[in-house]
Amino acid sequence: MIYPALIISVLALLFTIFSFWWMNWRVGKLNVSAPRSYAAFGSLKDKMILEFPFVFFNEGPMPITVQNLRLIFSGEKQSHPLIFMATVKELDNPENRTFATQFPVHGREALLLICEFQREPGNLIFETQDYSMELQAKLGNSKKRKQVCCFNLKVTEKSLQTINKHLSVHDNMSEA
């Protein structure tokens, strides 16, 4: 005969172990928000530069290390990724620019980073349209890249006046 006290004790122990794992050792998912604004410079022959403020949120308790990032125009026939080159403190401001390095996203915390991506030659002159973008990351010790965010880069008539002439800041929200 199985004793009810033994069953309850074993279930309580399993629940405690599972709860401890869930709250302290579980590797969570990395969530990345779509950018609200951006700085961009489009060029066919010269260097293309894109800067985006991304918020990285780790929903688990264990830290996640982001080893590298890259940005892809999803609609391009031949994928020429933009390389993660630097982080900046403000969009379109080269002061306090630091070269790209790996970075941790601590458990249950959010991290705001303004990431600069470059591609040379740029191979793109922006037009008035939405460009489908994909942010990919190498996480932890993985050798494979993982898609962490998809969003649209919105180029409006107003932004078209400067975006192909020099690096300039633009709103990434739909015009109402």
pLDDT in tens, 29-63: 999 999 999 999 999 999 999 999 999 999 999 99
Chain segment 100-126, per-residue pLDDT in tens: 999 999 999 999 999 999 999 999 999
Domain 28-171 bears CATH identifier 2.60.40.1890: yes
For the segment 87-107, the average pLDDT, to the nearest whole number, is 94
CA 103 to chain centre: 12
Domain boundaries, given as residue ranges, for the chain: 28-171
Chain centroid to CA 106? 15
